[in-house]
């Protein structure tokens, strides 16, 4: 634990700190960002109305689209001379969303990421390889500054050039790894090909995030790398990685509540749900200067857990994010989350954790196809056996998701490997 005082803070003290910070941020946003003034006024709310944290629910949400419309700097609350860094997330349509940081924001980011990367005991004796992409994406630089703040030795490889990554892990005696879980799986395969046994190396833990990954994938990475695999969560609109992090109990991610205030809402009605219920995560930054995000709708689906954690931290935990409200597929009227398909696939020993979901339309009918790689061990089997594997996966998907899917088994190593966030779904239907 890096910051015992904060990470095990008494709840009453935390709530008081949050309220104070929230009020200050709300006032600053109202006074300096015309968007917030207009939006608060239109909803008949004012920062002075924040007498308790619950009063926040009366305030309007911030949507991704509001950020797009404010492109590039419309939501900044500080003059450009105080902004020392910009990041942006690409998104699939329209303008990217741009976020800015003051020197103090970068400092806070380093601090929350230092907590994240020290969660399993890491310290200045560690050598961490940062294989998240460096650039406008927040993964690389976010992890980098956090690791430096924790006093670690950073190997800033960024993503790609996997053989060299592996050589450095081995030659530099790297102990910690930070990258997306899909890139970690990619690394494992290439290490196996190169004859590098990661299990024999000092590598001890990995901090994986930026995309959903199931516990089965965690198990696969842990076994094949011989490490502890921890989940880390964040988004550029809020700060980047560092919003929440898993401790070695691996039972939810502790939210850095001294900087980010979470709520869970019903995505249909916008109503705040009680703790313990699953819904859309809404986050408010309570210390950010350059770009204060007030009730930002993340679209990520999760649940808050306030039960005491065995690690001693009092910071609330959020469940692993298994999907987003906008990645739900509607197939012939049935709601399907890609993570549900992944869970089914991961139960099958005959296939590898590499798959792609293709959705198309034939006339009025939605077609769902799941392409998945057969394990080397089973690939040489006769057609009859491969057909049986296909039928088994198809049946399991139908039973679990109530939707029929065409299963295509592909040769090992044919689905494109990811360096960053994996592309799992290709939806060829024209979206309304």
Shortest reach from residue 345's CB to ligand DLL, in Å:
17
Q: How many residues bind ligand DLL (CB under 6 A)?
A: 21
For strands 260-265 and 304-305, give the pairing.
unpaired
- Helical (H) or strand (E) element with 221: helix 215-225
Longest dimension (CA), the chain: 72
Q: What x-and-dash track marks residues 117-136 binding ligand DLL by CB under 6 A?
A: ---------------x----
373 binds ligand DLL, rule: CB under 6 A: no
Shortest reach from residue 132's CB to ligand DLL, in Å:
5
C-alpha–C-alpha distance, residues 85 and 89, integer Å? 14
212 binds ligand DLL, rule: CB under 6 A: yes
- In the complex, which residue's CB is closest to ligand DLL? 209
Beta-bridge partner residues of 367 = 360
C-alpha–C-alpha distance, residues 240 and 136, integer Å? 11
**Interface pick for ligand DLL out of 25, 77, 102, 138 (rule CB under 6 A):** 138
Nearer to ligand DLL, 246 or 366 (CB): 246
- The helix-helix angle for 162-171 and 181-194 (nearest 10°) equals 80
Region of 6-14, 72-80, 185-193, 206-214 interacting with ligand DLL (CB under 6 A): 206-214
Q: Is the dihedral of CA 74, 69, 106, 13 positive or negative?
A: positive
Q: What x-and-dash track marks residues 234-263 binding ligand DLL by CB under 6 A?
A: xxx---xx----------------------
209 binds ligand DLL, rule: CB under 6 A: yes
- Helical (H) or strand (E) element with 106: helix 103-117
Q: Which of 102, 95, 98, 61 is nearest to 79 (CA)?
A: 102
Nearer to ligand DLL, 178 or 368 (CB): 178
Nearer to ligand DLL, 47 or 279 (CB): 279
Q: What x-and-dash track marks residues 302-341 binding ligand DLL by CB under 6 A?
A: -------------------x--x-----------------
Q: Which of 209, 230, 194 is nearest to 122 (CA)?
A: 230
210 binds ligand DLL, rule: CB under 6 A: yes
267 binds ligand DLL, rule: CB under 6 A: no
- Helical (H) or strand (E) element with 285: strand 279-285
The full DSSP string for 53-65 is GGGGGGSPPB-HH
Q: What x-and-dash track marks residues 74-113 binding ligand DLL by CB under 6 A?
A: ---------------x------------------------
The full DSSP string for 134-170 is PSSSHHHHHHHHHHHHTTPEEE---S--HHHHHHHHH
List residues binding ligand DLL (CB under 6 A). 89, 132, 137-139, 209-212, 231-236, 240-241, 298, 300, 321, 324
């Amino acid at each position: 634990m890096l910051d015992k005082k904060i990470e095990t803070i008494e709840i009453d003290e935390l709530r008081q700190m949050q309220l104070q910070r929230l009020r200050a941020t709300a006032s600053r946003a109202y006074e300096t960002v015309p968007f917030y003034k207009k939006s608060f006024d239109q909803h008949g709310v004012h920062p002075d109305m924040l007498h308790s944290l619950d009063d926040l629910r009366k305030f309007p949400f911030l949507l991704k689209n509001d950020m797009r419309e404010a492109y590039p700097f419309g939501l900044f609350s500080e003059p450009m001379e105080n902004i020392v860094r910009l990041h942006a997330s690409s998104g699939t349509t329209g303008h990217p969303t741009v976020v800015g940081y003051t020197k103090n924001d970068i400092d806070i980011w380093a601090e929350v990421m230092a907590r994240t990367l020290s969660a399993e005991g890491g310290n200045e004796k560690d050598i961490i390889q940062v294989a998240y992409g460096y650039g406008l994406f927040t993964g690389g630089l976010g992890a980098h500054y956090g690791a430096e703040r924790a006093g670690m030795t950073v190997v800033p490889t960024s993503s790609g050039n996997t053989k060299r990554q592996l050589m450095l892990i081995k030659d530099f005696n790297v102990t910690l790894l930070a990258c997306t879980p899909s890139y970690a799986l990619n690394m494992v395969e290439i290490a196996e090909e190169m004859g590098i046994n990661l299990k024999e190396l000092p590598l001890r833990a990995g901090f994986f995030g930026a995309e959903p990954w199931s516990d089965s994938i965690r198990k696969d990475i842990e076994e094949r790398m011989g490490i502890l695999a921890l989940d880390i969560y964040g988004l550029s609109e809020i700060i980047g990685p560092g919003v929440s992090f898993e401790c070695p109990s691996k039972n939810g991610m502790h939210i850095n509540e001294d900087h980010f205030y979470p709520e869970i809402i019903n995505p249909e009605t916008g109503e705040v749900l009680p703790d313990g219920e699953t819904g859309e995560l809404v986050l408010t930054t309570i210390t950010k200067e350059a770009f204060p995000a007030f009730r930002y709708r993340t679209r990520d689906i999760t649940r808050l857990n306030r039960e005491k954690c065995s690690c001693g931290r009092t910071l609330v935990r959020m469940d692993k994010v298994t999907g987003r409200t906008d990645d739900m597929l509607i197939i012939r009227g049935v709601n399907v989350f890609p993570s549900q398909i992944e869970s089914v696939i991961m139960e099958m020993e005959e296939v590898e954790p590499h798959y792609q979901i293709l959705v198309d339309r034939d006339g009025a009918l939605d077609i769902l196809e799941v392409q998945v790689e057969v394990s080397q061990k089973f690939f040489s089997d006769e057609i009859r056996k491969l057909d049986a594997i296909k039928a088994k996966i198809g049946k399991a998907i139908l039973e679990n998701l109530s939707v029929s899917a065409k299963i295509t088994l592909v040769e090992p190593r044919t689905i494109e490997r990811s360096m960053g966030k994996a592309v799992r779904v290709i939806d060829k239907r024209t979206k309304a």
